Chains A and B, each alone.
Chain A
Amino acid sequence: MNIFSWQRIAALGLLAVLVVAAVGCGEAASDEPFRIGVMESVTGPGETYGTVAVQSKEMAVAEINAAGGINGRMLELVVEDSKCNAQDAITAYTKLTDVDGVKIILGTSCSGAMLGAAPLAERDGVIMFSGLATNPDIAEAGDYIFRTSLSDATVGVDTGNVLWADGIRRLATISESTDYAEGVRRTTAEHFQSLGGEIVAEERYASDTTDFRTQLEKLLGANPDALHIAAQSEFTGGTIIKQVRELGYDGPIYADVVPIGTTALEIAGDAATGVKAITPDLDPANAKAQEVLANFKDRYDYVTLPWFLGSAYDNVYIAAECLKKTGDDQDADGFRDCMYEITWSGTIGDDYSFDEKGEVVGLSNAVLEVLPTAERTEENGGYKVLGPAPSG
């Protein structure tokens, strides 16, 4: 045993303590930039969503700073990866709050990561403001937790209404075993049943499934009026549409946003024509939304998940507005009060605000219908907007 080496370690540790103590005495000047955290799942299962969210936020910050910043102060983002799970969300959260000292965090895109870090944020009085997390449980997560994304519950309720209004009475459902897809299925089924409809068959599948024929045969055997697909990966969504049409089913198909994504439509091809999706979507008549999409395309050379992109973009502007009011990026309580009072018109809608649970109000889901293959273009995304989802 080399005692000498242990003494050296102790000396090193002591040195580190002294350095930290010396460094930790800096004082923030008034022309320093506002620093806010960004926590997104840029690796792991939620990678696509997280990456789009980070890029969209970077773009918004670049715009704000180019226009002179917030009251002359620049805005700076500290980006961390939460990897779509609770453990990494917690370490990312402590890194942001403890090391970088931010009090306002924009994110995160994965509900699992959000729910892991939210109790800590609530305990420490740190703002978490997500544009993408949709798990209904987040509504109850606390006073400092906000989101512009619509809860799965609202998607499900609106889907139920659309089904009922279209004269569907017997429904078959197939859903991916993820919290998002399962949440959409559950609330759709509950609301549809409360209206008087009947769920005649339901099937679930794991994310890596490629052949759905057996499950689809079972669903079709129950003779439903319509099929509802809740998917989280575009590959499975597209494949289900393709395979159910191959099995000879010609009734209506309803879905969440994923089965009408670009990749899904490529897989499904003509089989997808006429599929209806109930989802939040950017209003084609909203000039601001179209401008943001065009800018994003210029900057990054691609566009995907337009609504989520817009939602993340709006988050930065809402945060900037509240920072303008409070003038202090350490004032989470002031920021929170500002959030409860604010009414915002941006990319994802006009005049929306937040209720006492931090849930967004004033946004609604739209009903989309997939166009025939010949009419699908990059601009329209392969679908047309039929209008807002009927309420009540």
Chain B
Amino acid sequence: MALSSHAISNLVRRTRDFTERPRFAKGNVELWANLLIISWAAAFMLWQGVGFAITVSTVFAIWAILAVSLNLVVGYTGLLSVGHIGFFGIGAYAMAILSSDASYEQLRTEAIPTFGWPFFAALPISVVLAGLVAVVVGVAFNRFRDDIYVLVSFGFAVIAFNLFLNWRPLTRGAFGIHEIARPEIGGWTLSGPFEFLVLALVFLGIVVLISWFIVTSSFGRVLRAIREDEQAIEVFGYQTAHYKLAIWVISAMMAGLAGALFGSWTSFIDPNSFVLLESILLVSIVILGGLATIWGSILGAMAFVMLEEGMRFLPFLPPEFIGQARQVVLGILLVLLMLFRPQGLVGRFRL
């Protein structure tokens, strides 16, 4: 394979000239996007009441974990996956089955195996399980790239949803699973919404730290090189398949973590929460925030959750159309954002 020296130097420049840090001084748009979203979010939340702010923040934390983890695959490595919600669901169902109270009456109608484990015992298993599934799926997916990758990951999301819906002896199908355990540390139950928010933010922090460590390491540099030119980096002797599989599994485990948190937070899950549409929304968040930037994914999740929940406060809508109108406004806002900031709020790359 012939590689021009220009191509190589281009590759090196684009993968090396990169620091994972918010650059406030560089470019007014970024600065204003950051300022606007954060100040609006803070004012909005505090204005509306503490309980609601806590709930919305918890939703944000869970979606931010998902967005950051997906960005590792989509943004940094350039594998456009729309199947991420499947791992989210696997984490949630693992948490539900492992931790649901087996003596709970509602679960007897269609008996499923439940174990009644505490949250912190079920959590690592949920994460590992999502990772194991990701290994199997990832080995198969490594054969594909670009647009085909979108299709096969789409297939994965559909398969996962149908398993949740139809594997009734395990998932209770459309009935969903109740009484998922709340986190507990040494007899102190984190049942209050605020305690749970703190826990979710701690996990978000851990995920961000791990992601930051990955993308600033040499491992991260190879990932970016794969995004720019996979064949070129192979010429240098890198086994790109291994790198792609590794980041895919890490990302899936983070999604599994988000799923486990989600299941525990709602204490009831059914397959409706893991439909393909949620996966598309997740990809939108990543693109909205900016590809290949952790900070952007956090900001994107914040902007998205704020937009969606902020729509609840549009005062001029008649009650009959309130739901539909919100969806339309949200859609228009997303289109406008993409028109004027195709690289996302703080991103530097386009899809």
Q: Interface on A for B, CB 8 Å cutoff?
A: 1-2, 5, 8-9, 12-13, 15-17, 19-20, 38, 41-45, 47, 50-51, 54-55, 58, 77, 79-81, 83-87, 90-92, 94-95, 97-99, 112, 115-116, 119, 135-137, 140, 177-183, 186, 204, 206
Contact B272 A45 (CB under 8 A): yes
A12 — nearest CB in chain B belongs to which residue?
Answer: B39
Residue B333 is within 8 A (CB to CB) of chain A in the complex: no
Contact A16 B42 (CB under 8 A): yes
Contact B176 A179 (CB under 8 A): yes
Contact B322 A42 (CB under 8 A): yes
Contact B176 A98 (CB under 8 A): no
Contact with B323, one of A83, A137, A177, A179 (Cβ below 8 angstroms): A83
Q: Which residues of chain A are within 8 angstroms of B312 by Cβ–Cβ distance?
A: 80-81, 92, 95
Q: A51-B320, A87-B262 are in contact. Are A112 and B52 (CB under 8 A)?
A: no
Distance A5 CA – B323 CA, assembled complex (angstroms): 36
Minimum C-beta distance from A2 to chain B (A): 5
14 further contact pairs, Cβ within 8 A, besides A51-B320, A136-B109: A1-B24, A12-B43, A42-B322, A45-B272, A58-B320, A79-B319, A81-B323, A81-B326, A86-B268, A91-B59, A98-B48, A115-B176, A135-B175, A181-B174
Residue B124 is within 8 A (CB to CB) of chain A in the complex: no
Contact B322 A90 (CB under 8 A): no
Specify the main secondary structure of chain A where it touches its partner. helix
A93 — nearest CB in chain B belongs to which residue?
Answer: B55
Distance A204 CA – B54 CA, assembled complex (angstroms): 40
Minimum C-beta distance from B227 to chain A (A): 28
Q: Which residues of chain A are within 8 angstroms of B265 by Cβ–Cβ distance?
A: 90
Residue B162 is within 8 A (CB to CB) of chain A in the complex: yes
Q: Which residues of chain A are within 8 angstroms of B105 by Cβ–Cβ distance?
A: 140
Q: Which residues of chain A are within 8 angstroms of B174 by Cβ–Cβ distance?
A: 177-182
Q: Which residues of chain B are within 8 angstroms of A77 by Cβ–Cβ distance?
A: 319
B22 — nearest CB in chain A belongs to which residue?
Answer: A1
Contact B46 A119 (CB under 8 A): no
Q: A9-B39, A179-B176 are in contact. Are A81 and B46 (CB under 8 A)?
A: no
Contact with B173, one of A12, A45, A177 (Cβ below 8 angstroms): A177
Q: Which residues of chain A are within 8 angstroms of B239 by Cβ–Cβ distance?
A: none
Supply 13 A–B pairs (Cβ within 8 Å), ascending by A: A8-B35, A42-B324, A58-B320, A85-B273, A99-B48, A115-B178, A115-B270, A137-B175, A140-B105, A140-B106, A177-B174, A186-B110, A206-B165
Minimum C-beta distance from B224 to chain A (A): 24
Most buried by A among B173, B269, B270, B309: B270
Q: A115-B178, A178-B174 are in contact. Are A16 and B266 (CB under 8 A)?
A: no
Contact A99 B319 (CB under 8 A): no
B272 — nearest CB in chain A belongs to which residue?
Answer: A85
A91 — nearest CB in chain B belongs to which residue?
Answer: B55
Q: Which residues of chain B are within 8 angstroms of A97 by Cβ–Cβ distance?
A: 51
Q: Digit string of B204-234 for contact with A (CB within 8 Å is 1, else 0)?
A: 0000000000000000000000000000000
Residue B49 is within 8 A (CB to CB) of chain A in the complex: yes
Total B residues in contact with A, Cβ cutoff 8 Å: 49
Contact A9 B35 (CB under 8 A): yes
Contact A43 B175 (CB under 8 A): no
Contact with A84, one of B178, B269, B272 (Cβ below 8 angstroms): B272
Contact A179 B166 (CB under 8 A): no
Contact A86 B165 (CB under 8 A): no
Distance A43 CA – B43 CA, assembled complex (angstroms): 28
Minimum C-beta distance from A296 to chain B (A): 13
Distance A92 CA – B56 CA, assembled complex (angstroms): 10
Distance A23 CA – B285 CA, assembled complex (angstroms): 34
Minimum C-beta distance from A122 to chain B (A): 11
B174 — nearest CB in chain A belongs to which residue?
Answer: A179
Minimum C-beta distance from B176 to chain A (A): 6
Contact A86 B266 (CB under 8 A): yes
Residue B50 is within 8 A (CB to CB) of chain A in the complex: yes
Contact B31 A94 (CB under 8 A): no
Residue B267 is within 8 A (CB to CB) of chain A in the complex: yes
Contact B323 A90 (CB under 8 A): no
Contact with A55, one of B25, B268, B320, B324 (Cβ below 8 angstroms): B320
Q: Which of B296-344 contact A (CB under 8 A)?
A: 309, 312, 319-320, 322-324, 326-327
Most buried by B among A58, A94, A140: A94
Residue B140 is within 8 A (CB to CB) of chain A in the complex: no
Residue B38 is within 8 A (CB to CB) of chain A in the complex: yes
Q: Which of B177-197 contact A (CB under 8 A)?
A: 178
Contact A182 B173 (CB under 8 A): yes
Minimum C-beta distance from B155 to chain A (A): 15
Distance A5 CA – B106 CA, assembled complex (angstroms): 52
Q: Which of B265-288 contact A (CB under 8 A)?
A: 265-270, 272-273
Distance A38 CA – B52 CA, assembled complex (angstroms): 17
Most buried by B among A50, A77, A80, A90: A90
Contact B272 A20 (CB under 8 A): no
Q: A9-B39, A140-B106 are in contact. Are A87 and B319 (CB under 8 A)?
A: no
Distance A20 CA – B42 CA, assembled complex (angstroms): 12
Distance A80 CA – B309 CA, assembled complex (angstroms): 11
Q: Which residues of chain A are within 8 angstroms of B323 by Cβ–Cβ distance?
A: 41-43, 47, 50, 81, 83
Minimum C-beta distance from A119 to chain B (A): 6
Distance A83 CA – B35 CA, assembled complex (angstroms): 31
Contact B272 A12 (CB under 8 A): no
B309 — nearest CB in chain A belongs to which residue?
Answer: A91
Residue B236 is within 8 A (CB to CB) of chain A in the complex: no
Contact B52 A95 (CB under 8 A): yes
Q: Which residues of chain A are within 8 angstroms of B54 by Cβ–Cβ distance?
A: 94
